[in-house]
Structure 1
Amino acid sequence: MDDPHFLNCDQEAIHLCGHVQDFGFLIVFDKFHRCICWSQNWQESSLPEHSIHKGLLLSTFINSLKLSHPIDLDQILRDNMEIFKHRYVADIQLQDGTHYLSIYPFDDKIFIEIEKHQSQSHQFKNIYHYAQHINNNKDIWKALAENIYTVTGYDRVMIYKFSKSGDGKVIAEHVSEGLEPLLGYHYPEFDIPQQARLLYTKIFARVTPDVDAKPIPVLGINPEKLDLSMTGIRAMSPIHLQYLRNAQVRASGSFSIVINGQLWGLVACQNRMPKTIDLAQRHLSVFIVQYAVNSFLANKQIAENNFKLKTKSIEFEIRQSLFSKQDLHQVIGNLTSSLIDILKADGMAFKYRGKWHMIGKTPNKDYIQQLENNLANRCKDELFWQSDFKWPQNYKEQWFHFPGIASIDLEHKLDFKIYFFREEVKIEEVWAGQPEKQLIYDPNKSANFPSPRTSFEAWKKTIRGTAPKWKEWEIDFLKNLSFIIQEACLKKITEIQALNEKLVEINNVLETFSYTLSHDLKNPLAALQMTAQMIRDRAGLSQEFLTKAGKNMMEAILLMNNMLDKTVDFARTKSYDFEYEPVYPERFIQHIIDDCKVRYHIDKLEFQKGRILPIDGEKTLIYQLFLNLLGNAIKYSSNKGIPIIGLDSEDYGHAIVYKIYDNGIGISAEETERIFEIFHRLPNAVEFDGSGVGLSIVKRILERLNATITVESTLNEGTAFTIHFPKRSNTLKSTPAKNPYQN
């Protein structure tokens, strides 16, 4: 607050109050086990044998007590106080009866509390009954209130849940006859200030046996600085005590409901008359509360698991449908009813490729467009959810109609957007008194203090513009849905891109084919045209001329036919599918040699045949590979007196290496980089028939086989091709050898 004379409830140091309640005794020792503080009622009690004074040793104090069981202080406090995290409780006998002795470390000190037995032992023999009552009741919090009522006997037991805004609501209750129920009542945040909430996360039970009992001061060394956060008998704030009086309550108790380390709520108990709840009852109540919390979390987990099982089938169906090439609009359209049911929405709308589709109860397209514009300015994330969305002011007629909105925005990635809508639920809240903070002036401290509320009469408040809140697991489902849609659609996009790339490549090849064919076919077509014109236009042609013309036409036709066949062969090597298998070239090498000798009219041919090892590949491709390489070797050596063709292979462990060589025309260094280009002809090969396709086919086959090829050549002396075939199976075994062709 800006006013320096205003003291907020949150500023009240309730843990440094310097007083305890009168139903117990307190004594505090420092880390050296010397007494430093004690409650005044020790001196006023009728227990002179327990003289308390500064410097009294802890061991001396313990030994003076009549314990039902001996206490081993060395074991309790062994090594250091860091390992001593919990209260040690024992029974002791004092002059006025049996008492509880509590020992616990805190703030580098050792605290001891003593309070008298009040409860009956039968309450603690029914733990199984308390557990079963919670297990068998659909409303866990109602069962908890009934259990705490049984254990403590308070007139009213309320289960009070905090909201995210800080206020609270009574969600379950058990009251004695004659009391007005407060179920459903709301209480403002300032009724329980922040420092009190913090203490509830440290000590889980707090009781006030009598709001009018005089607090007992703590004596000793600096008692006003003694932190009593963990002290069960700590005195209550005067503001809180007056609050209870104003509520016509004489005694109260509170038990913390802590979930995942956060203060989720309280078991708030009230009694019209003074009432003492002793340590055993408080501990039993804390145990029952924790059991209820565990049951609540278990049920919540079961509900989440059931939801996830239900959504998994939807997610699987979406994934399968999208992966099976179905359109996104079709898939989502087929599942709209399931999606609305799972998310408990009143309606949904989705936009795909600029077109809106609406199902169930939704705003119209104009409102949705306005929503899009609004969200574009306030949310950059793919996911958005809100239960109290405020529509723009110029859309007053639907201001509260659909405040529940959840959306997935993939417009920039997939041109897709989906909204789920929940209609407004008007809520009439009932408050225990009008939630307004009043101030009073304390002249002694010259400060304004918050005044405890004096009115708890029902005050109603209507809440507009809210819808049922989106649960965490519902948001998780939206996240998964977004991921699945993106994953499937992006996979399809990737596939389409790959197909487009392949299509571009094929188009490029076809363009090359068409250009080359149109260029290279001109010569034979021109020859055919010229010969045909001469036969048509000239009369009386001799038989000799006609025979020669017919021969020329047949040669031109054969040339074109061969060129077309080679082009088709080249295209097929790009898309031919196969499975790897052992191929034995030995079976067809000699046949290729014999056919080529006839084709190129060679009578004398020296074939230097070495080892012919099997290869991992596909027999048709391997045959075509050797047909082109050996055919070229024989063709381009055919002008030699004695053509020499050689073939050998070696096993190098990871690969089979073949070498094919000849003594033909050779290749210049400038041309070796281009010999595998389609339709490329060597300048020194003009006297040989050919289309320039053979080595392009070789290169494409080797790519399909993941093999590599290198060439060494000298003009007019010959050429050697070396091919590395990688091994792909264990079916081929031979001894690796040194490569004889390495320099």
Structure 2
Amino acid sequence: MAISHSSESPAAPTIAGGAPLDLSACDREPIHIPGAIQPHGLLLIADAEGEHRVLAGAGDLEERLRDDWLGQPLAVLLGQDVAALLNSLPGGPNASVPAPVAGVDERFAVTLHRAGGQLLVELEPIGAEPMTAANALAWIDAVTGSFERAGDKQALFDRAAVAFRALTGFDRVMIYHFLDDDAGCVVAEDRVPELETFLNHHFPASDIPKQARALYVRNRTRTIPLVDYTPAPLRPAGFATSDLSDVAVRHVSPIHLQYLRNMGVGASASISIVKDGLLWGLVACHHRTARLLPPDIRSAAATLASALARQIRAKEEAAAYRERLTLRAMEDKVVPRLNSEEPLRAAVQAVKTELRDMLDADGFALVSRDDVEVIGHCPPAPFLADIVRWVRDRGNEPVATHELSALFAPARDHLAQASGLLALPLHDEDATLVWLRAERIEKIAWAGNPHKATALATNETLTPRASFASFSETVRGRSRRWTLEEIEAAHRLRRRFHEAHQHLQVRLLNRELTRTLREKDALLAQKDVLMKEVNHRVQNSLQLVASFLRLQAKTAGAGPVADHLAEAQARLAAVALVHRRLYRDDQVESVDLSRYIDELVADMRTSLGAEWGRHIRLDLAPILVPTDRAVNIGLILTELVINATKYAYDGGAGPLAVVLEQHGGKLRLIVADEGRGKGTPGATREGFGSRMMTAMVQRLSGTIEYGDNQPGLRAIMTAPIAED
């Protein structure tokens, strides 16, 4: 609720006496079943079967529609064949009625919603001159063209704010972006000069509860034409409260309405910006007086928001591609010098400027056992040695952080030189490459003090904060963040050092040990044979276990025991595949998750049979993940596919989609079927597989959610790509 867009999202409160109130109460507020609507619209609730007779309603139906609405068939009230409209739906829960419905003195745009065994009929008044489809498409096409011509994301955001304000006519329009920690920031704004600005102001994550964010994805546009309204309850009295999640005229949380009043806002609207199925941000609109956002304008705004989301994704991908090209070009300048016959120190000394500039660092150091070689702004050598010892004590693995002092307390005394750290221990040398970034003191502007809230003094009722004066907070101890592309480049550089070290050793041996060349080659060959033998024995052992499981399954015969043994074989296959990948790849620290999943599914196709093999579809984005995380993800995928094959189609085969996506520093694994959906028998069983999968997800610091795939079940596992 930070920027007063049309969410029902109470700000972080306290109770009387200043004691903190449990903020999870905000997440539990049942905003989807308010039992009332906003009075500018009307609502009819009808039986989903038979003649679709009206069971209840809300709003001034007698004065605006007709007196005898209760108990009437929808076809009579709407003047249209409701059954034909429902049969023409493409499978979704909502449908707009093509022709407007005439009321007593006005016309209504009508939208049908399915909600369990009921039909929700939403009626909203139409403006005197609604926007035609041709005009809307022409305008959206022109604006989308201007989005495409924007030079960068900031220019895109600025153009979007202007376009949405021109479309909606609100006094203030903001482009609001959710950050990685679910806090938000206004990245663009267009407003009348009389209003104060919220541009670049931040808002805490608690301002928009979890259930409100979920509704933003489901219901892409929301409007509150008048803040000071009296809600119209469902009638007749005592009617069971219905789920109004899809209803645009749903009554808004009283907490949010008070928030709007505190802000001096008379009307509010929001349009969701959904990128790759996730809520990227909002187009938040404010007006000082009452203002209606008609259905035709909302539809155009939703279409424009989708175009904006596509352009955001395109510009992010283009920026990442350009950064990769730049890093590759700088890498090509460094690598030739590493392949010389110079010792490591001399080679690094020759290219230390390029190494520092490659990752845009303020300082660079090569720390070895006997020496510290630095360039740029670096802390004293003893502190650098302490950092390297700390890195090696953590497992001798690369470390990348933009807040070193939070992980390594002694760094608090050297923030000016070492607030950010990227350290690469070299396994072949007793040395570590260290990139340092200086502290960037950041002043964050908040719309009101995020650490202070108010509450009613009489009881523990949640109330929003009342002050939105600009509050500045200084954040110290942080540097510029290392991008994913920079971290990938550092890993490649580490491999280059490893390769250069190996090449140097080979050249020195060729020159100094010419007489022992044959012996060296024999030793290398023996080593290769040994590795193959080790791999062969491990694979044989795994195959032996798999064979034993198959034999036990046959002995057990059809039934639960055989099923459990088959599941064990599938899990064993996931582990065996990782071992084969490790044996083939040079980089054992990480695995290309898309290749791993592709090969794992190929094995599953073989074990499941040709019928299932034809139905499994893959859409995999290349993501580099640590090997141990790949094992857990492989086991989770195996479990999800096993569940789908067992329950989705009652033992038969059917469509099954496996999708792997990357969103910032997180990955998302989706397994979706088109079968029986959430009601599938056994889909929520707490057996060994489910418990194992839950443990794997927790180990990844991730979450797993199940949703309606319309039809079927959609399982979404979200987790960080790398462990913090």
Pair in the same fold by TM > 0.5: yes
Cα distance change on mapping 1:480 and 1:433 into 2, 3 Å: same
Aligned 1:450-599 pairs, distance under 5 A: 450-490=462-502, 492-493=504-505, 503-504=515-516
Alignment counterpart, residue 95 of structure 2, candidates 79, 87, 100:
87
Counterparts in 2 of 1:160 and 1:353: CA distance versus 1, 3 Å: same
The match for 1:390 is: 405
Find the counterpart in structure 2 of residue 28 from structure 1.
45
Per-residue CA distance 1:645-689 (angstroms, 9 max, x = gap): xxxxxxxxxxxxxxxxxxxxxxxxxxxxxxxxxxxxxxxxxxxxx
Cα distance in 1, alignment partners of residues 64 and 223 from structure 2: 25
SS of aligned partner of 1:45: helix
Change (3 A) 1:503 1:286: farther
**Quick one: which of 286, 307, 315 aligns to 1:270?**
286
277-286 or 337-346, which deviates more: 337-346
**2: distance between equivalents of 1:365 and 1:429?**
33
Secondary structure of the residue aligned to 1:27 is strand
**What does residue 142 of structure 2 align with?**
129
Give 1:91 deviation, angstroms. Answer: 3.0
Q: Verify the 8 A CA contact 2:55 2:70 in the aligned structure 1.
A: no
Query: What is the letter of the counterpart of residue 424 of structure 1?
Result: E
SS at match of 2:249: coil
Cα 1:353–1:104 shift into 2, 3 Å:
same
1:422 aligns to 2:437 (yes or no):
yes
Which stretch has the larger CA shift, 267-276 or 491-500?
A: 491-500
DSSP 3-state at the match of 2:198? coil
The one of 416, 427, 436 aligned to 2:451: 436
Secondary structure at the aligned position of 1:8 is classed as helix
Give the Cα–Cα distance (whole angstroms) in 2 for the partners of residues 483 and 29 of structure 1.
66
Tell me by how many angstroms 1:142 deviates: 1.0
2:267 to 247, 251, 257: 251
SS at match of 1:100: strand
Q: Which residue of 2 aligns with 1:408?
A: 424
- Which of residues 372, 380, 398 is equivalent to 1:356? 372
1:115 corresponds to 2:115:
no
> Which whole-Å CA distance do the structure 1 matches of 2:162 and 2:117 have between them?
39
Per-residue CA deviations over 1:117-148 (Å, capped at 9, x if unaligned) read: 13642762411221133233341111111111
Q: Can you list the C-alpha shifts for 1:202-229, whole angstroms capped at 9, x where unaligned?
A: 2111111111111111236975542222
Tell me if the contact between 2:173 and 2:286 (Cα under 8 Å) persists in the aligned partners.
yes
CA deviations over 1:436-463 (Å, ceiling 9, x no partner): 35453597xxx61332111111222111
Deviation, structure 1 residue 359: 1.5
User: Deviation of residue 318 (structure 1)?
Assistant: 4.6
SS of 2:32's equivalent? helix
Paired with 2:252 and 2:414, the residues of 1 have a C-alpha distance of 50
Residue 59 of structure 2: aligned partner: 41
**Separation in 2, partners of 1:347, 1:152:** 50
With over 3 angstroms needed to count, the CA separation of the structure-2 counterparts of 1:503 and 1:354, relative to structure 1, is farther
Q: Does 1:344 pair with 2:356?
A: no
1:52 counterpart residue number: 70
Query: Contact 2:330–2:358 (CA<8 Å) still a contact in 1?
Result: no
State how far apart, in whole Å, the 1-side matches of 2:445 and 2:177 are: 15
Are 2:300 and 1:284 aligned? yes
Greater CA radius of gyration, 1 or 2?
1
Q: Distance in 2 between matches of 1:159 and 1:393?
A: 38
Q: What secondary structure does 2:373 align onto?
A: strand
Alignment partner of 2:36 out of 19, 40, 47:
19
Deviation, 1:350, is 1.9
Structure 1, unaligned stretches of length 5 or more?
A: 509-743
1:104 maps to which of 113, 127, 134 = 113
- CA apart distance, 1:236: 0.6
Q: Is the 8 A contact 1:404 1:467 kept in 2?
A: yes
Q: TM-score, normalised by structure 1?
A: 0.60
Aligned residue in 1 for 2:460: 448
Which deviates more, 84-93 or 448-457?
84-93
Describe the superposition over 1:261-290 as per-residue Cα deviations: whole angstroms up to 9, x where unpaired: 332222111110011101121121122122
Is 1:148–1:157's contact at 8 Å kept on the other side of the alignment? yes
Letter in 2 for 1:236: V
Q: How many residues align?
A: 493
Counterpart residue type for residue 112 of structure 2: I
| Counterpart amino acid of residue 233 in structure 2 | P
CA distance in 2, matches of 1:463, 1:7: 26
Paired residues for 1:205-284 under 5 Å: 205-219=221-235, 225-284=241-300
- Higher relative contact order structure (alpha carbons within 8 Å, sequence separation ≥ 6): 2
Deviation at 1:413, TM superposition (A): 3.6
SS at match of 1:178: coil
Contact in 2 for aligned 1:322/1:488 (Cα 8 Å): yes
C-alpha distance in structure 1 between counterparts of 2:255 and 2:97, whole Å: 32
> 1:51 Cα deviation (Å)?
1.6
Q: CA 1:64 to 1:16, structure 2 compared with 1: closer, same or farther past 3 Å? A: closer
Q: 1:423 to 1:399 in 2, by over 3 A?
A: closer
| d(CA) in 1 for partners of 2:454, 2:195 | 30
Secondary structure of the structure 1 residue equivalent to 2:444:
strand
The secondary structure found in structure 1 opposite 2:404 is coil
* CA distance in 2 between partners of 1:338 and 1:454 (Å): 52
TM-score by length of 2: 0.62
* Secondary structure of residue in 2 paired with 1:121: coil
Q: Percent identity?
A: 26
Structure 1 position 292, deviation (Å): 1.6
**Structure 1 residues 363 and 18, CA gap change in structure 2 (3 angstroms):** same
Partner Cα distance (2:510, 2:236) in 1: 84
Q: 2:404–2:411: 8 Å Cα contact kept in structure 1?
A: no
State the partner residue of 1:193: 209
Using the alignment, how far apart are the partners of 1:318 and 1:332 within structure 2? Answer: 9
* Cα 1:491–1:252 shift into 2, 3 Å: same
Aligned-residue offset at 1:415: 2.7
Q: Is residue 168–residue 187 contact of structure 1 (8 Å, CA) maintained in 2?
A: yes
What RMSD in Å do the two structures reach over aligned CA positions?
3.3
CA pair 25-384 structure 1, distance change in 2 beyond 3 A: same
Cα offset, 1:113, TM superposition = 1.4
Moved more, 38-47 or 132-141: 38-47
Q: CA deviation at 1:180?
A: 1.5
Matched, 1:373 2:373: no
Query: SS of the residue aligned with 2:450?
Result: coil
Contact (CA 8 Å) 1:401, 1:465: kept in 2 or not?
Answer: no
8 A Cα contact 2:101 2:110, kept in partner: no
Corresponding letter in the other structure for 1:362: C
Per-residue deviation, residues 449-501 of structure 1 (Å, max 9, x unmatched):
33211111122211111111122222222222223333443455567678899
1:249 Cα offset (Å): 0.6
CA gap 1:336/1:230 in 2 versus in 1, 3 angstroms: farther
